[in-house]
């Protein structure tokens, strides 16, 4: 049996242990409460924690750049979307400068790049997505397909272990324009091979549009092998609730792609305010309206922390944390079925378990200070964040869950589901 | 001749004078510097000033709601977009509860509602916009027209005095699906009759999609007479750089309109994460991705100030400030030609003047502490903000401009235009 001391030993050897202090804890003044009754937050892949540097960074933009600089600060702000994009490109995405833009929401970016991809594949009338993908991905794909009279073809992937290259091969043919896929599945955490899938799609003439929402900041991503991607900054990048998302377009494709929302921030000579829309050459052509300056300042802080820690170390700790979780579930919680890949190199930094009373268990855990995420219909999802979750936190969370299960403490909870996460 | 004492008298009688203290000034600690060398900011219709309450409101959301509340704060955040929308609806837009949503950028909202409007007028193949409208409006219209194989018909309006009902009548027929118009023109400030234009369009079976960016918070808007609208919150609403925009959809139309970006925040039972997109009944169906929580907190502060001051008083002061400006230009600056409506009830809270060296004059003014806005090709735009600009500020700004013109102090400035505002 794996002991709490074993977990402590892993923490002692953790090269990222010092990064915990970069984040706000739950104790007085934002210190970390390490007591036995502390909150154990395992939902950093829904909303990442607040970096300690963020309040001052946001306050500086609000009070100095906006409050004192006023319109003069646009000289600085106008490059913010690509400056922070370049931080993400170099630090966490394996992309080149000028390939990543921070803008809009993940859903809006997905729409823009999906439309751009469809436009680049005239005559093809099929979009591919995964039936188990995150709702917004499926809904956006359905909407775009409807607009163009296209068909949506679903990849039949295993909901726990994710899709295989054979699953992808089975849906590809010369009718497919764009494949939309999450690199890390939002429920199971199952990861697919970005380079191999992109190559398969390219061979059949299709583009892959990757949703990196659960991958960015948790696994090593090498976008040099990809054509199109979008992703979220408020999960493992710790950019804040509803923070602006990012989009990636391979440099060589940028000039040939057009996105449909022709806003003035994509215009070549923006302040000439000319009669016709002529998109700029670079990744800014995928920008639309005036960029969200305050919120992007928070994104920059989070992005720089992940870049500093380095994705190899972050990904390695993510695998180790979830390995510990899987081991402890095996050893102590036979009532739960693992609903994620067992091999750590086939998943992101979260794992799900299945139980008929998953909802009630989630509520009982929350009341005992453990914050996982419930995912419909019967999954509890644990997302230990490599930058601030300790191995002993995982051990204690499983211990509290074992207590709940052993005492049937979850049964009094209502099965009514209204929680929003 | 109108004297500085006359301007002081207007300030003494100003019922909104006390609202100036709600905003951050340029002196130490954000106090107002009222000295002769002070900055005179007449660009509040490009980027409004920082309300004094905003830093604390943003800090509370960052440090308490995000930092301590984490995902639990979604219980509060999930209603934020409509809660702040309702503040705008009741306080500044003349709309009903549940008709206004804060979301995305103005450009993205324009795209969503324009596509929704086109979808609601099948068989019609013309979009109308104004050749002198703000670039993003024209570009978005052009993009949507291209997607649907529609024609763009331009209203031939006078660039200084704006469009008339005859101008509108001339372009309306049974081919027009949607008319996109700014209620207050971004250069001239010319205002059109919202109710009358909407009625004309309805009579021909078309929808009007209003862009209220320069109108909201500066003139009285009565959306009870309108069908569709979008607008900006970082100008006269003082919501911060790149703040989320708003959209309005008349309650009776909401159920019949579909927007094209089918994101998960528009879904009826969002956390069921069901297989198909089924938009909710209310204005939230025009939402897309996860809402920008931090930035919307700043919008709320600004919106509440305008609502508290009341749009009748704000609009009256806007007319009085620009009346003073027009009078002073007439009296003291014969070199300038007024490029805005002369009648105060036909314009918003800004006026433009024309001069061949408008760009150089703008630079010379900025160096003398007056911040107007240059608008291509030869306009200087003055936007005194009713909530914090005094009549004496307008007088002093004109006085400094008179000095520049009298001494040819603007001539040494380069004609190269690179300023970003």
pLDDT tens by residue, B168-206: 999 999 999 999 999 999 999 999 999 999 999 999 999
Residues 310-369 in A contacting B (C-alpha not used; CB under 8 Å):
none
For the question of residue A158 being annotated catalytic, the response is no
A137 is annotated as contributing to ligand binding: yes
pLDDT in tens, A126-167: 999 999 899 999 999 999 999 999 999 999 889 999 999 999
Residue A73 included in any domain:
no
Q: What is the pLDDT of residue A372?
A: 97
For the question of residue B375 being annotated catalytic, the response is no
Residue A68 included in any domain:
no
pLDDT band at A270 (very low <50, low <70, confident <90, very high): confident
Q: Is A63 close to B43, i.e. CB distance below 8 A?
A: no
Alpha carbon A271 to its chain's center: 34
Domain boundary among B308, B333, B361: B308
Q: Do B93 and B221 fall into the same domain?
A: yes
In angstroms, rounded to a whole number, what is the distance separating the alpha carbons of residues A43 and A388? Answer: 11
The burial class, CB within 10 Å (0-12 / 13-18 / 19+), for A277 is buried
In angstroms, rounded to a whole number, what is the distance separating the alpha carbons of residues B262 and B287? Answer: 8
Chain A residues close to B241, C-beta within 8 Å: 65-66, 73-74, 77, 290, 293-294
Mean pLDDT of B20-48: 96
Residues 23-52 in A contacting B (C-alpha not used; CB under 8 Å):
24, 26, 30, 41, 43, 46-47, 49-50
Q: Is A270 close to B417, i.e. CB distance below 8 A?
A: no
Q: What is the pLDDT of residue B162?
A: 95
In angstroms, rounded to a whole number, what is the distance separating the alpha carbons of residues A346 and A188? Answer: 10
A74 reaches B (C-beta below 8 A):
yes
H/E/C letters for each residue in chain B?
A: CCCHHHHHHHHHCCCCHHHHHHECCCCHHHCCCCCCCCCEECECCCCCCCECCHHHHHHHHHHHHHHHHHHHHHHHHCCHHHHHHHHHHHHHHCCCCCCEEECCCHHHHHHHHHHHHHHCCCCCCEEEEECCCCHHHHHHHHHHHHHHCCEEEEECCECCCECCHHHHHHHCCCCEEEEEEECECCCCCEECCHHHHHHHHHHCCCEEEEECCCCCCCCCCCHHHCCEEEECCCCCCCCCCCCCCEEEECHHHHCCCCCCCCCHHHECCHHHCCCCCCECCCHHHHCCCCCCHHHHHHHHHHHHHHHHHCHHHHHHHHHHHHHHHHHHHHHHCCCCEECCCCCHHHECCCEEEECCCHHHHHHHHHHCCEECEEECCCEEEEECCCCCCCHHHHHHHHHHHHHHHHHCCCCCCCCCCCCCC
Q: What is the pLDDT of residue A124?
A: 98
Residue A69 included in any domain:
no
CB pairs under 8 A between A and B: 275
Q: Is A371 close to B139, i.e. CB distance below 8 A?
A: no
Q: Do A95 and A239 fall into the same domain?
A: yes
**Options A14, A86, A104, A211, the catalytic residue:** A211
Q: What is the pLDDT of residue B365?
A: 97
Chain B residues close to A293, C-beta within 8 Å: 240-242
Residue A241 included in any domain:
yes
Indicate which of B63, B105, B152 best probes the interface with A, i.e. most A CBs within 10 Å of its own CB. B105
Chain A residues close to B294, C-beta within 8 Å: 58, 240-243, 294-295, 298
Mean pLDDT of B249-256: 98
The sign of the CA dihedral A261, A265, A267, A272 is positive
- The residue behind tokens 């808007």 is B221
Exposure b/e, B181-199, CB count within 10 A at least 16 = b: bbbbbbbbbbbbbbeebbe
Q: Answer yes or no: is pLDDT of A417 > 80.
A: no
Q: Do B213 and B360 fall into the same domain?
A: no
Q: Do B302 and B315 fall into the same domain?
A: no
Residue B218 included in any domain:
yes
Q: Do A340 and A299 fall into the same domain?
A: no
Strand, coil or helix: what is A176?
A: strand
Q: Is A373 close to B291, i.e. CB distance below 8 A?
A: no
Q: Do B41 and B112 fall into the same domain?
A: no
Q: Answer yes or no: is pLDDT of A72 > 50.
A: yes
Q: Is B70 close to A43, i.e. CB distance below 8 A?
A: yes
- The residue behind tokens 């003044």 is A29
The burial class, CB within 10 Å (0-12 / 13-18 / 19+), for A292 is buried
Domain boundary among A284, A308, A332: A308
For B314, the domain range is 4-50+310-407
Q: Is B105 close to A263, i.e. CB distance below 8 A?
A: yes
Nearest residue of A to residue B50 by CA position?
Answer: A67
Nearest residue of B to residue A416 by CA position?
Answer: B272
pLDDT in tens, B114-168: 999 999 999 999 999 999 899 999 999 999 999 999 999 999 889 999 999 999 9
For the question of residue A304 being annotated catalytic, the response is no
**Options B43, B104, B133, B211, the catalytic residue:** B211
Mean pLDDT of B272-278: 89
Tokens, residue B105: 């950028």
A290 is annotated as contributing to ligand binding: yes
Q: Do A211 and A289 fall into the same domain?
A: yes
**Options A19, A41, A134, A265, the catalytic residue:** A134
Q: What is the pLDDT of residue A414?
A: 83
Q: Do B193 and B261 fall into the same domain?
A: yes
Residue A418 included in any domain:
no
Q: Give whole-number Cα distances, B318 to B188, B348, B411, in Å.
A: 14, 7, 32
Q: Answer yes or no: is pLDDT of B420 > 60.
A: no
B238 reaches A (C-beta below 8 A):
no
Q: Do B314 and B336 fall into the same domain?
A: yes
Domain harbouring B388, CATH code: 3.90.1150.10
Q: Which of A220, A137, A223, A214 is nearest to A180 (CA)?
A: A137
pLDDT in tens, A201-222: 999 999 999 999 999 999 999 9
For the question of residue A211 being annotated catalytic, the response is yes
Q: What is the pLDDT of residue A21?
A: 98
Domain boundary among B308, B330, B365: B308
Q: What is the pLDDT of residue B421?
A: 41
**Min Cα separation A59/chain B (Å):** 7
CB A252 within 8 A of CB A234: no
Q: What is the CA radius of gyration of chain A?
A: 22
Q: Do B296 and B366 fall into the same domain?
A: no
pLDDT band at A188 (very low <50, low <70, confident <90, very high): very high
pLDDT in tens, B278-308: 999 999 999 999 999 999 999 999 999 999 9
In angstroms, rounded to a whole number, what is the distance separating the alpha carbons of residues B28 and B18? Answer: 19
- Considering chain A, what percentage of its residues have pLDDT values greater than 90? 94
In angstroms, rounded to a whole number, what is the distance separating the alpha carbons of residues B411 and B418? Answer: 17
The partner residue sitting opposite A77, judged by closest CB among B58, B241, B293, is: B241
Q: Answer yes or no: is pLDDT of A420 > 70.
A: no
Residue A60 included in any domain:
no
pLDDT band at A275 (very low <50, low <70, confident <90, very high): confident
**Min Cα separation B344/chain A (Å):** 26
Nearest residue of A to residue B369 by CA position?
Answer: A72
For the question of residue A138 being annotated catalytic, the response is no
Q: Do A252 and A144 fall into the same domain?
A: yes
Domain count for chain A: 2
- The residue behind tokens 């397909």 is A145
Q: Which of A326, A336, A320 is nearest to A402 (CA)?
A: A336
- Considering chain A, what percentage of its residues have pLDDT values greater than 70? 99
How is the beta sheet containing A126-130 ordered, strand by strand?
Answer: A100-102, A246-249, A228-231, A207-211, A176-182, A126-130, A151-155
Domain harbouring B160, CATH code: 3.40.640.10
- Considering chain B, what percentage of its residues have pLDDT values greater than 90? 94
Q: Do A393 and A304 fall into the same domain?
A: no
Q: What is the pLDDT of residue A156?
A: 84
Q: Is A288 close to B108, i.e. CB distance below 8 A?
A: yes
pLDDT in tens, B209-240: 999 999 999 999 999 999 999 999 999 999 99
Q: Is A264 close to B298, i.e. CB distance below 8 A?
A: no
Judged by phi (left if over 0) then psi (alpha if -120 to 50, else beta), residue B162 lies in left
In angstroms, rounded to a whole number, what is the distance separating the alpha carbons of residues A312 and A320? Answer: 12
Q: What is the pLDDT of residue A421?
A: 41
Q: Is B104 close to A104, i.e. CB distance below 8 A?
A: yes
Residue A416 included in any domain:
no
Exposure b/e, A84-104, CB count within 10 A at least 16 = b: bbbbbbebbbbbeebbbbbbb
In angstroms, rounded to a whole number, what is the distance separating the alpha carbons of residues A386 and A319? Answer: 9
Roughly what angle, to the nearest 10 degrees, separates helices A311-332 and A391-407? 30
């Amino acid at each position: 049996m794996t002991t709490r001391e074993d977990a402590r030993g892993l923490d002692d050897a953790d090269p990222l242990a010092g990064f915990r202090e970069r984040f706000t804890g739950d104790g007085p003044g934002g210190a970390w409460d390490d007591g036995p009754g502390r909150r154990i937050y395992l939902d950093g892949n829904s909303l990442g924690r607040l970096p300690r540097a963020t309040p001052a960074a946001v306050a500086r933009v609000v009070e100095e750049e906006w409050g004192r600089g006023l319109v003069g600060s646009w000289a600085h702000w106008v490059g913010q979307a690509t400056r922070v994009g370049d931080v993400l490109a170099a630090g966490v995405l394996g992309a080149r400068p000028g390939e990543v833009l921070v803008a809009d929401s993940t859903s809006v970016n997905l729409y823009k790049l999906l439309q751009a991809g469809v436009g680049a594949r005239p005559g093809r009338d099929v979009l591919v997505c995964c039936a188990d993908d995150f709702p917004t991905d499926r809904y956006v794909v359905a909407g775009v397909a409807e607009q163009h009279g296209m068909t949506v073809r679903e990849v039949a992937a295993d909901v726990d272990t994710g899709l295989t290259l054979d699953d992808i091969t089975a849906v590809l043919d010369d009718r497919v324009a764009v494949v939309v896929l999450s690199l890390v599945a939002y429920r199971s955490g199952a990861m697919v091979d970005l380079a191999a899938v992109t190559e398969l799609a390219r061979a059949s003439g299709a583009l892959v549009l990757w949703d990196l929402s659960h991958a960015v900041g948790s696994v090593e991503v090498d976008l040099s092998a990809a054509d199109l991607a979008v992703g979220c900054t408020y999960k493992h990048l710790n950019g804040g609730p509803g923070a602006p998302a990012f989009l990636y377009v391979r440099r060589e494709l940028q000039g040939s792609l057009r996105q449909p929302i022709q806003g003035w921030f994509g215009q070549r000579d923006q302040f000439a305010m000319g009669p016709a829309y002529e998109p700029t050459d670079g990744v800014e052509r995928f920008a639309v309206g005036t960029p969200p300056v305050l919120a992007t300042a928070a994104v920059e802080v989070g992005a720089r922390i992940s870049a500093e820690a380095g994705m190899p170390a972050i990904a390695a700790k993510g695998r180790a944390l979830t390995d510990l979780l899987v081991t402890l579930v095996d050893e102590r919680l036979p009532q739960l079925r693992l609903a994620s890949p067992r091999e750590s190199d086939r998943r992101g930094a979260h794992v799900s378990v299945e139980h008929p009373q998953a909802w009630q268990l989630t509520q009982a855990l929350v009341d005992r200070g453990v914050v996982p995420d419930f995912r419909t219909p019967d999954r509890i999802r644990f997302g230990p964040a490599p930058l601030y979750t300790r191995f002993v936190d995982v051990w204690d969370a499983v211990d509290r869950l074992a207590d709940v299960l052993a005492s049937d403490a979850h049964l009094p909870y209502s099965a009514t589901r209204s929680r929003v996460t």
